[in-house]
Structure 1
Amino acid sequence: MIIKRNLDELDSSGLSVITIGTFDGVHLGHKKIIEKLVSTAKANGFNSTILTFFPHPRMVLQQDDSLKLINTIDEKTEILEKLGLDQLIIQPFTKEFSRLSAMEYVRNILVNKLNAKKIIIGYDHRFGRNRTATIKELKEYAASFNFEVEEISAEEINEVSVSSTKIRKALEEGDIEKANLYLGYEFMLTGNITKGKGLGRQIEFPTANLNIQENYKLIPKHGVYIVKSNINKKTVYGMMNIGINPTVGGTTKSIEIHFFDFDQDLYGKTIQVNMMKRLRDEKRFESVEALKQQLYKDKANALNFIEKYHAQ
């Protein structure tokens, strides 16, 4: 897959079938559109191309810092790369870009830059300055500029019954299994391992502290989760706490992972952690010893789940 982080980097040779959107989560509904995109392009000898935007338009136009995204831009790129696309264009979304008229957007970008021969798009797609143009206008431009528009109907979209909003809500409520069902893969957190206070090691549960640099990344509800990670080409399971560690007087949020049967130094490394199931809420225990006993129970529950997971 060719990845361009700006339309100006694109070599405009080769005709394209295009779909356009933010694709946060790259969930089952998105995959249905992308599968159609890839198969259509292959059948016609065209490039399958996604045009997406970063930052999310709401962050730029409404300066909405409260919007948290399911994927970082690198996570989204990694997921899309596995779906057989030819080209991914990540266009920086700016106020200047948002002011392009519908005509300028279609002519300058879809036609002149991307060589669109077909655009596969949702029935509710809006574009151009103030998002005033609809699929009706897009079809009119298609006739002028000699490309096709394939409309994805409301019925097709609703048939999947999945949306990025539903997934965000599930994650905010800690319902990892529902989120994973909608996504079609395990929700992930990606970050650098940094040094903590070493309290976990003192109670026989050493932890790796995950520092996520992207402040727009959605972090699920506080609690204890079963997780897995690929480290040195080996799948390692563990349990992760998201919260403030109230039993030891913590006040700031941290993400700490205890990997089972693993004792390698991870400091300074970047790892991706896949979340599988929520075990319980984070809570304050009467003592560190009580916390330690609960962690043994959590580990037993996690190992039991992992054994059943492998038996499926």
Structure 2
Amino acid sequence: MSAKEKVIALGFFDGVHLGHAALLRRTVEEAARRGVASAVFTFDRPPKEVVTGIPCPLINSPQDRADLMRRLYGIQEVIMVPFDQEMMTTSWRDYITEILVKRHHAIHLVAGHDHHFGHKNQGSPELLMQTCAELGLGCDIIPKVELGGITVSSSYIRRLVELGQVERAHRYLGHPHTLTSTVRHGRGIGSSRLFPTANLVIPSHVLVPSHGVYVTRVTLPDGSAYPAVTNVGTRPTVDNGTDVTVEACLLDFDGDLYGETLRLEFFRHIRDEIRFDSLEALKSQIAADAETTRQAFLSGNLEGPPN
């Protein structure tokens, strides 16, 4: 078989949750059986946002989506294309024949039970199966995945993240909520008077959990990982501002992280963000949060989704 041939999973995959996991595992399994590459075909931004013009906050940046699919499920190639005017007006049939088959060498397609595609979303799972049969392609349509009687979906998980319910989000994602970002210079108060912190740039259109303090883990570019206390909010004690910041205090770390790209994973909500009367009171609370975080990791029950 040609090295270009691929088994391709179709979808937007925001969150890369347990419903997506079923598609991705099937894709990898079929690609291995056929001896070809496993791939995902997806878009750089939500088609709904382009069509309606209404911004759609997402669970993950495009880079995080691609990384999660590769790192957690072994997808070899993520084909992430712009959702532009040409793509928006492509008929459902041309989407299959011209783009997926001719351009990207698909020999087997995997999609979810609710996957629609092509101009005005006129393509359906039924049409996908029918057309694949006509063309001699393999095709799998993956049924919905439910957990606790709730259908696992990106929209449900977005709401959990917005509410700061990161433990419950973990359960439906199958992994901790993830934010990868670059460290920027803050005001220096964290490193000089409190604890060493990494002030992270929030990627455009990406959700952060509701304001509060979280048990998190930071992974550095070299693969080393550190427990961290992360504050999401406006830092009312030191800033009196309105800009939302994400600041991670790495425990037992010493070094300069400015300009580095870090992966931040949210495991547990500790407390709401509040204003303290002094920096000393804030420092004392951060020390308590740090101890809570250490104990959470020592307990060994953060690695898997909670029951």
TM (norm. structure 1) is 0.86
What percentage of aligned pairs have identical amino acids? Answer: 33
In the alignment, residue 158 of structure 1 is paired with which amino acid?
A: E
- Deviation at residue 142 of structure 1 after TM alignment: 2.6
Determine if the alignment matches structure 1 residue 294 to structure 2 residue 294: no
Structure 1 distance, partners of 2:223, 2:113, is 43
Aligned length: 297
- Deviation at residue 150 of structure 1 after TM alignment: 2.4
Structure 2 distance, partners of 1:13, 1:309, is 42
Determine if the alignment matches structure 1 residue 230 to structure 2 residue 219: yes
Structure 2 stretches of 5 or more lacking a match? none
Q: How is 1:219-298 mapped onto 2 (pairs within 5 angstroms)?
A: 219-231=208-220, 232-251=222-241, 252-298=243-289
- Deviation at residue 98 of structure 1 after TM alignment: 0.9
Structure 1 stretches of 5 or more lacking a match? 1-11
Structure 2 distance, partners of 1:215, 1:162, is 25
Structure 2 distance, partners of 1:270, 1:118, is 35
- Deviation at residue 88 of structure 1 after TM alignment: 2.1
- Deviation at residue 310 of structure 1 after TM alignment: 7.2
Quick one: structure 1 residues 150 and 189, their matched pair in 2 at CA, closer, same or farther if it must change by over 3 Å?
closer
Structure 2 distance, partners of 1:262, 1:87, is 34
Quick one: structure 1 residues 289 and 33, their matched pair in 2 at CA, closer, same or farther if it must change by over 3 Å?
same
In the alignment, residue 188 of structure 1 is paired with which amino acid?
A: T
Structure 1 distance, partners of 2:302, 2:79, is 40
Q: Which residue of 1 aligns with 2:19?
A: 29
Supply the RMSD in Å over aligned alpha carbons.
2.3
Cα displacement string for residues 112-140 of structure 1 (whole angstroms, at most 9, x for unaligned residues) = 22333322222322222111232232233
Determine if the alignment matches structure 1 residue 85 to structure 2 residue 75: yes
Structure 2 distance, partners of 1:121, 1:207, is 42
Cα displacement string for residues 94-124 of structure 1 (whole angstroms, at most 9, x for unaligned residues) = 1221101122212211222233332222232
Contact 1:198–1:206 (CA under 8 A) maintained in structure 2? no
Q: Which residue of 2 aligns with 1:114?
A: 104
Determine if the alignment matches structure 1 residue 158 to structure 2 residue 149: no
Cα displacement string for residues 194-228 of structure 1 (whole angstroms, at most 9, x for unaligned residues) = 2221222454323221123x211111111111222
Quick one: structure 1 residues 111 and 175, their matched pair in 2 at CA, closer, same or farther if it must change by over 3 Å?
same
Contact 1:16–1:117 (CA under 8 A) maintained in structure 2? yes
Please identify runs of 4+ aligned residues in structure 1 that moved more than 4 A: none
Determine if the alignment matches structure 1 residue 131 to structure 2 residue 121: yes
Structure 2 distance, partners of 1:122, 1:310, is 31
For the pair shown, the structure with the greater C-alpha radius of gyration is 1
Contact 1:199–1:206 (CA under 8 A) maintained in structure 2? no
Q: Which residue of 2 aligns with 1:5?
A: none
- Deviation at residue 17 of structure 1 after TM alignment: 2.4
Quick one: structure 1 residues 38 and 281, their matched pair in 2 at CA, closer, same or farther if it must change by over 3 Å?
same
Structure 2 distance, partners of 1:74, 1:289, is 38
In the alignment, residue 94 of structure 2 is paired with which amino acid?
A: E
Q: Which one is further off, 278-287 or 298-307?
A: 298-307
Q: Which residue of 2 aligns with 1:99?
A: 89
Structure 2 distance, partners of 1:169, 1:24, is 13
Contact 2:132–2:138 (CA under 8 A) maintained in structure 1? yes
Contact 2:3–2:36 (CA under 8 A) maintained in structure 1? no
In the alignment, residue 253 of structure 1 is paired with which amino acid?
A: V
Structure 1 distance, partners of 2:194, 2:124, is 59
Q: Alignment partner of 2:123: what SS?
A: coil
In the alignment, residue 182 of structure 1 is paired with which amino acid?
A: Y
Structure 1 distance, partners of 2:294, 2:268, is 12
